[in-house]
Chains A and B, each alone.
Chain A
Amino acid sequence: MTDPVRATPDDSTLVRIRGLTTVLNGKTIFDALDLDIPRGKVTAIMGPSGTGKTTLLKHITGQMRADAGEIRVNGQNVANLSRDELYKLREGIGYLFQNSALLTDFDVFENVAFPLRQHTKLPEVLIRNLVLLKLQAVGLRGAARLMPNELSGGMARRVALARAIVFDPMLILYDEPFVGLDPVALNQVLKLIRTLNQTLGITSVLVAHELEAIKQVADHVFLIANGKVVAQGDPKTIANDGSPWTRQFFGGEADGPVPFQYPAGNLAQALGFTGAAK
């Protein structure tokens, strides 16, 4: 069996998705989606809101089962893993939640130390040093004893980032990592993602909307819409590839292949102007 945590050097694709089909509440989220996430690179997943970017991350981590298709992480078919195998795989995955998801009973230090305490028998002094180093990396070493309810949204996100990287995982999934960050923190987080990728070879997957930030940090971008990958490529050139999808998404246009309005009936009829509806 493939070791779920250690990388297989000859395989350049860490996450391979084939024919992924997901239907939620009657709405098709993914329609036979194919996508490869290269090992050791920073990959960005972009797309309109509600297009299923977070759902895709949940499929990769086995939090959600797909209706059809196959997802392989480090060679392992996620859908076929037992609970213990899935947990073993997750020990090698860091996940930054959209709303940080810090454990509210614990302070900042204990939140970051939580994965270490659960999965290792490291001496306390080593745990302390590791946690402080990760907190230093996100600029919050001084906030180690604050409780989550004493943090701003941006600070909570940085603590969650420190927790996601504390194990130096093989794969880190960032769900909207740049939301709520001030320019200084944003720059530092971008540097941190890049450094983790370059120094430790960690594969990173970013779900984000900030194209300028993505341009600085990502090696490859996938644009997802209508359940499929509609464009992909280098972040510096993808915005100018001329397709209607990229033109609308990166140009911020209301009209285009992706409707701005959620599917709805006639507005005049909804407002009670029955004559206008005829």
Chain B
Amino acid sequence: MNVRAPHSNNVVVQSLTQIGLCGLFLLTLLASVPRSFRYACETLRQLWFVGAMSLAIIMVCGLFIGMVLMLQLYNVLSIFGSTSASGMVVALAVYRELGPVVTALLFAGRAGTSITAEIGLMRATDQIDAMEMMAVDPIAYVATPRFLAGLIAMPLLCCVFCAMAIFGGHLVGVTWLGIDNGTFWSNMTAVVVVHTDIVNGVLFKSLVFGAVVSLIAVFQGFTTPPTSEGVAYATTRTVVASSIAILALDFVLTAFLM
């Protein structure tokens, strides 16, 4: 699929063209999903690469975000004498917003950039054209497995992030600051609603963010100019576009899901 944008100096026209081409690229990706089933091994390999290999950064960041969140909340809530609500607020903040958003931002930085750079280099070194010439559809073999892997990995990574954040909050709140363990868990379980907070907050949002980040990463890789500077710019664009898309979509989704 040739998805190179026509040249224009107008930034608005360029951006709209990119969005339009990205939409067309998404349709091509979705159409190639049945064909990509024969490359299930490649999808699994990519799942390992974008999912399992991102675990370390997700776990560490989740832990520290939970810890710092609890620390801040404890300090603020102690003014009102309601430190026992800290665990509950940490859980709501993590499930509803911080979990999906921060996981998606980290995912864009860790996996999105590597997907873009890898595909961009494949294009620059004619590997994509070589596949075309060997009658192997590069969309089905290269793009779709990476897209599907991102789609599957993001909700799983988000769950791990949330678990680590709660663990971090527990570590600081209960172990260090002395909040009662029973109060910490009972307040949390009393307030957190599975459908609203877990299904809509964690799973649905992270699924959407996973699709958006993977789509942007794969699209940027496929449309990168075949030069080292082109690959560098495409990688940067993946982070910038993904971050903006995640934050904007988070607002829209929250507004609809509340």
Contact = CB atoms under 8 A, between A and B. Distances in A.
Interface of A: 61, 63, 83, 87-88, 90-91, 93, 95, 97-99, 101-104, 114-115, 118-119, 163
Contact of A97 (B122, B130, B137): B130
Contacts of B75: none
Contacts of A103: 127, 130-131
Contacts of B131: 103
A101 B129 contact: yes
Contacts of B13: none
B interface, over-half SS: helix
B125 interface: yes
Contact of A115 (B125, B132, B134): B134
B126 A63 contact: no
Contact of A90 (B121, B126, B127, B134): B134
Given A99-B125, A101-B125, A104-B125, A61 B136 contact: no
Closest 4 CB pairs of A and B: A101-B126, A101-B130, A87-B135, A90-B135
Contacts, number: 47
B130 A93 contact: no
Nearest to B126: A101
Contacts of A90: 132-135
B132 A63 contact: yes
Interface residues of B, number: 14
Contacts of B129: 63, 97, 101
A97 B134 contact: no
Contacts of A91: 135
Contacts of B134: 90, 114-115, 118, 163
A104 B126 CA distance: 11
Listed residue (B127, B132, B135) with the most chain A CB atoms within 10 angstroms of its CB: B135
A101 B135 contact: no
A9 to B, nearest CB: 24
B132 A101 contact: no
Nearest to A115: B134
Nearest to B124: A99
Interface in B111-132: 121-122, 125-127, 129-132
A118 B135 CA distance: 9
Listed residue (B121, B132, B133, B136) with the most chain A CB atoms within 10 angstroms of its CB: B133
A90 B131 CA distance: 10
Interface in B1-45: none
